[in-house]
């Protein structure tokens, strides 16, 4: 048995459709390797401890779509927005139990402007992810996660160096 009680598998981005599916950003390297069925827990739980079985995973327009048992309509799915889906390490292949990179909480420093804030959310798009960075003197800044913008990421130091494109900060 591993020492970590749970492994983050995915972050719920939003509800999708009317049948209880949620759009997720997987935090594991190869979501195709997830065993079926897989029991996951919702953290933080919307109303008391909550677990469910992943019934299906399919590609969606802005990321993968997941259907969990017991989440059968849009209202229930909306309560999961921003939550993490975690699983027991013993239920996952060994390759998926390594801690995943999660950018939420890292400090973002622009090479010209210095600290612009911390990543508070990740928007999953078809082309690339976008970090929502807040808490700095520039207000909310949307940072596209592309090679031309994100220069380095220090996972241990929980920081990222970026070169913001013109127009990403109001007043530029």
Structural domain contains residue 1: no
pLDDT for the residue numbered 108: 96
In this structure, what are the phi and psi dihedrals at residue 21, rounded to the nearest 5 degrees? -75, 150
What number of other Cβ atoms are within 10 A of residue 52's Cβ? 19
Boundaries of domain holding 80: 7-96
- Residues 30 and 76 placed together within one structural domain of the fold: yes
- Residues 84 and 113 placed together within one structural domain of the fold: no
For the ranges 7-16, 76-85, 88-97, the lowest mean pLDDT is seen at 88-97
Domain boundary among 42, 70, 96: 96
Give the total number of structural domains in the chain. Answer: 2
Task: Tell me if 108 sits within 8 A of 87, measured CB to CB.
Answer: no
- Residues 89 and 127 placed together within one structural domain of the fold: no
Task: Tell me if 130 sits within 8 A of 99, measured CB to CB.
Answer: no
- Residues 128 and 149 placed together within one structural domain of the fold: yes
- Residues 148 and 88 placed together within one structural domain of the fold: no
Cα–Cα distance measured from residue 84 to residue 87, given in angstroms and rounded to the nearest whole number: 10
**pTM exceeds 0.85 for this model:** no
**Between these two residues, 93 and 10, which has the higher pLDDT value?**
10
pLDDT for the residue numbered 171: 64
């Amino acid at each position: 048995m591993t020492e970590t009680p749970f492994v983050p598998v995915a972050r719920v981005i939003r509800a999708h459709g009317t049948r209880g599916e949620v759009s997720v950003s997987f935090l594991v390297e190869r979501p195709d390797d997830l065993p079926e069925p897989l029991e996951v827990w919702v953290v933080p739980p919307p109303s008391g401890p909550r677990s469910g079985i992943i019934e299906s995973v399919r590609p969606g327009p802005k990321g993968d779509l997941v259907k969990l048992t017991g989440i059968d309509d849009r209202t229930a799915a909306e309560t999961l927005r921003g939550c993490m889906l975690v699983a027991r390490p013993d239920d996952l292949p060994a390759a998926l139990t390594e801690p995943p990179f999660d950018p939420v909480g890292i400090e973002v420093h622009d090479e010209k402007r210095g600290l612009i804030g911390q990543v508070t959310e990740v928007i999953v798009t078809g082309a690339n992810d976008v970090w929502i960075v807040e808490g700095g003197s520039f207000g909310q800044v949307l940072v596209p996660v592309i090679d031309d913008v994100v220069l380095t990421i220090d996972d241990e130091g929980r920081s990222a160096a970026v070169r913001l494109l013109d127009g990403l900060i109001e007043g530029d």
